[in-house]
Structure 1
């Protein structure tokens, strides 16, 4: 790796804005060819149901399955859990317990009050009837994704949680199935891709229709979620993963370099950026990157991500750093500072914030407790992490007695007639006192 393999930017460079935007504007996967193919798959599942689902599964996952093979029974989940190495099972259970405890704090409660006119008002909170969780399959195993998506749904009180996971070449990942057992999944289907999303959204004889689909996937899965949104709810359209680190000279440059690597090793589109007001520290981190990168198993992926989407940015002071943080609205924000609490109030936009030198982003990925399903591509400006609230709905409650209806009708009648909606006005006026 050469000294030019990670971008170096200074906030006062004349072309700073252009160069930064070039780094931040990564592919969002809106390939017209992908969209066209996904539309075909969705239409096939809608029209032909299980026949299409089985056909696409066998074609894209290189299987020769029968319809019955698409269901993974609860006994298989239990067997996978029982077959885990004791240390691995304990780690998975500890992560699940931490995630559950954190999300229990998020549960919203129903409430009511009576105003001065005797009108009862409130909000009723109810869980979704059925949620669908997509879990990536194949070469990679993502048991943490199972925990992060299923446990908030269970805490929210969702009636049924349905999980789909592709099993290419008929390979089932026991760690994913074990996580499903721990998290409390009700039904699991060995399907993936756009066809799995379509089945969850529209339902087939085998796969029940859900109310919301959550969970990460490839470009085809993301496109399918985008296209079925409205028929069902979705969590978000997630882009490539990203970390932004704000650090000062109190940080260990090797730690910072490795935290950048941890994000960059996801894939070539991952973004890993450091902001510092200390030019000497910036040089020390650059040197750590040069020295440590050859040791990494995924060095080639990391190098590509750092070259295309990574940067070390030097700024004048903490104010400039904070302005950049809020402009970037990162998925993960590490505050590797001597006093992170002093910087925290400046942060308005970030998916997850990690305070201090010991709070590595990777801890949040697996077991700290907060959800690792986070807004990417600067959507933290208006979006939040996945949580219990994504699996609960809120219904407004309005209860009027005769006196309250008479009071409200005075206002409603005037406003309705002002809008030219006389039926609205008369409906309210019928409730007026004679």
Structure 2
């Protein structure tokens, strides 16, 4: 069901730990060769390429790339009341948390007459990618849109793959639940485009063919964006890497991960249920238990066998748990366990130990930490108020999850009077000469008739 890695009696350093610990194979560099011609096709042929690629990869040829506003409202009207209520609560909680992430401008008086202000400015336009392959993720609409709106982004566009199993009313559109979530959030610019071609559409924009057959003179379907956020498959990640620089990106998201740090106080049924919950996402999903208890290990293995057989996506979950990216890691004690989870830097980290809050406070590297037996990762996926767009593949050691900050830029505004500049002029000139950049110093002395002020 799941392999074991025994680190007891060993003291590997961080680099050795990263080599020893399981991780999904996710070669974004190799996928670049596949996505490059796709992105170039979108750049050169615009909307025509997007339709062809939708038919090729999604099995659906969208007649209208932008979803009409009336279909968004119809999807919301048709949404099951319980699903609507759950989405509304998810939105409410996400807004509570993300409202507290707002930044305020700060002015520092360095000297009398000399100030530096850090001004926070939202990006102009954002493209939000919502996956729609193995599963449907209206929750990802919430997690992308809410922080962008709170940041003050003026123009938001959402894209998600067209679904071949939609009813005739929504033929060629993303899943109706995705459309309903967009309507709930007041987003009316939604596209039926998925995969690498969606990232290319956001980067280059897209037009219909003009009278001469080229898109240069055709009607605009989608304007280019400044920043793209949202998780996707390896081809979405590769397109982000390829187009980074032309657009900003949040991250190159890989397969989802859960790590659970547990001792013998943990309930094996809960541990097994939580490992399974993330393995359900994808055959490449990583599920890792780090524990110092052989008794817990045996009980979790028994619970996994029973629970996997009883749940819906048995084959997908078995493949994920049995893959090289998943394992039970045995350690000597919680101290070693903490070193292991910090080296792994999981997207989601659960702490199911005695004094879970104290143990959680010592963790340095994780996308999000879930404390104790009543904070499963699935709570964070939907309704904790936290954001579920998180760093994967060990990137949590240097990167954060999506937040209001992701959509803001800090701009320093420097305001000095002549007297304030005069006070520091000699230091500027000295440093310019030390770096052999005399014109830098001359830009200061020119303001004082090419002499240093007295």
Whole-angstrom distance in 2 between the partners of 1:206 and 1:78: 20
Q: Which moved more, 1:200-209 or 1:306-315?
A: 306-315
Residue among 137, 153, 161 paired with 2:156: 161
Whole-angstrom distance in 2 between the partners of 1:195 and 1:294: 37
Residue among 331, 350, 360 paired with 1:344: 360
Residue among 74, 80, 90 paired with 1:85: 80
Whole-angstrom distance in 2 between the partners of 1:321 and 1:209: 46
Q: Contact 2:52–2:61 (CA<8 Å) still a contact in 1?
A: no
Cα distance 1:322–1:76, how it changes in 2: closer, same or farther (>3 A)? same
TM-score (norm 2): 0.89
Consecutive unaligned residues in structure 1, runs of 5 or more: none
- Cα offset for 1:292? 2.1
| Structure 1 counterpart of 2:337 | 321
- Cα offset for 1:102? 0.7
| Structure 1 counterpart of 2:22 | 24
Whole-angstrom distance in 2 between the partners of 1:138 and 1:292: 25
Q: Contact 2:234–2:254 (CA<8 Å) still a contact in 1?
A: no
Q: Contact 1:150–1:184 (CA<8 Å) still a contact in 2?
A: no
Consecutive unaligned residues in structure 2, runs of 5 or more: 165-171, 207-219
User: For 1:272, what is the secondary structure of its paired residue?
Assistant: strand
| Mapped pair 1:12 → 2:8 | yes
| Structure 2 counterpart of 1:406 | 422
Q: Contact 1:163–1:188 (CA<8 Å) still a contact in 2?
A: yes
- Cα offset for 1:114? 1.4
Whole-angstrom distance in 2 between the partners of 1:319 and 1:428: 56
| Aligned residues between the structures | 427
| Mapped pair 1:36 → 2:51 | no
Q: Contact 2:291–2:330 (CA<8 Å) still a contact in 1?
A: yes
Q: Contact 1:10–1:16 (CA<8 Å) still a contact in 2?
A: no
Whole-angstrom distance in 1 between the partners of 2:84 and 2:43: 39
Cα distance 1:79–1:213, how it changes in 2: closer, same or farther (>3 A)? same
- Cα offset for 1:172? 3.6
Q: Which moved more, 1:414-423 or 1:380-389?
A: 414-423
Q: Please, what is the CA RMSD of the aligned residues? A: 2.0
Q: Contact 1:200–1:207 (CA<8 Å) still a contact in 2?
A: yes
TM-score (norm 1): 0.93
Q: Contact 2:203–2:224 (CA<8 Å) still a contact in 1?
A: yes
| Structure 2 counterpart of 1:246 | 261
| Structure 1 counterpart of 2:217 | none
| Structure 1 counterpart of 2:180 | 178
Q: Contact 2:120–2:409 (CA<8 Å) still a contact in 1?
A: yes
Q: Contact 2:347–2:390 (CA<8 Å) still a contact in 1?
A: yes
Whole-angstrom distance in 2 between the partners of 1:209 and 1:41: 17
- Cα offset for 1:112? 0.6
- Cα offset for 1:65? 4.0
Whole-angstrom distance in 2 between the partners of 1:294 and 1:62: 31
- Cα offset for 1:41? 1.5
Whole-angstrom distance in 1 between the partners of 2:431 and 2:12: 52
Q: Which moved more, 1:7-16 or 1:137-146?
A: 7-16
- Cα offset for 1:348? 0.5
| Mapped pair 1:278 → 2:293 | yes
For 1:284-363, list aligned pairs within 5 A. 284-308=299-323, 309-363=325-379
For 1:27-426, list aligned pairs within 5 A. 27-30=25-28, 32=30, 34-66=31-63, 69-138=64-133, 140-169=135-164, 170=172, 172-204=174-206, 205-308=220-323, 309-426=325-442
Whole-angstrom distance in 2 between the partners of 1:19 and 1:323: 9
Cα distance 1:16–1:157, how it changes in 2: closer, same or farther (>3 A)? same
- Cα offset for 1:158? 0.1
Q: Contact 2:126–2:225 (CA<8 Å) still a contact in 1?
A: yes
Q: Which moved more, 1:362-371 or 1:294-303?
A: 294-303
Q: Which moved more, 1:106-115 or 1:347-356?
A: 106-115
